[in-house]
Amino acid sequence: MINVLTAQEAADLLKITTDTLYSLVDKDALPGKKIGHQWRFIEDDLLHWFRAKSRPTASTQNEGAGTEEHALVEIYQKFLDATFDAVFLTRNRMIINCNDITLDLYGYTKEQLINQPTTKLMAPEFHNPASWASTVDKTGILQTVCIRADGTAFPVEISVTTVLYDQQGDGDEHCIRITAVRNIADYGQDYWTDEVRDVLRGYKFQSVQPGKARDDKPGP
């Protein structure tokens, strides 16, 4: 049975915003059909498009895993530029690329982030992935606490997608992870997990506007 999706459902499937979805549609990069004033998408077509974008070409397969990784990063550069969320790419838990929104959110230059571990962006309390177990909300999206370059803290939701670029291998060295980050500082304490609230009490808390810190901490 054909599963037809609304724009919001299609964006949720690809883990992007509807603004990014429409941007891709405008560039004829995403399969969809406008019916009246609304767009509709077929789930199988979107998944096929995503797999095609993620799959290395025959030429890159012959040039080795390093070239395959480079080709995949080039494909996702367009996505990085189009999305309204902070997004960075990692390999072996090291940052290999990011968009400008990531730089604005964390207060670093690209040179300061590339080839750095992802733990550079997170509060030490969340450096162990096992500590995330209690931060998963009902949608399956992880909540954690991030630290800006100026030392201020803010809560975020993160969604991670793994793309295998070497079909012959396995493990972290054969895949790229795409991490989307959304600042939830102004969503309200009731929205955060208990662990996120507890960790934030130990830091100067930052509002949703980068660079504007406030001294008030989450209450008990």
Domain 65-214 annotated CATH 3.30.450.20: yes
Q: Measured between alpha carbons, how far is 171 from 166 in angstroms, rounded to an integer?
A: 10
Instruction: Tell me if 152 sits within 8 A of 204, measured CB to CB.
Output: yes
Instruction: Tell me if 31 sits within 8 A of 49, measured CB to CB.
Output: yes
The whole-number pLDDT of residue 137 equals 44
Give how far Cα 95 sits from Cα of 1, 114, 178, Å.
40, 5, 10
Instruction: Tell me if 77 sits within 8 A of 95, measured CB to CB.
Output: no
Q: 213 φ, ψ to 5°?
A: -95, 155
| Tokens matching residue 153 | 């803290």
Mind listing the pLDDT tens digit of every residue in the chain (220 residues)? Answer: 678 899 999 988 888 888 888 888 887 678 888 888 889 999 888 888 887 765 544 444 444 445 555 655 566 666 666 677 888 888 888 898 888 889 999 999 999 999 999 889 999 988 876 555 544 444 457 889 999 999 999 999 988 877 765 545 445 556 778 888 989 988 888 889 888 999 998 888 765 444 444 444 555 5
Where, residue-wise, is CATH 3.30.450.20 in the chain? 65-214
Architecture of domain 1-54: Orthogonal Bundle (1.10)
Helix (H) or strand (E) holding 196: helix 194-200
Side-chain-side CA neighbours of 206 within 13 Å: the count stands at 22
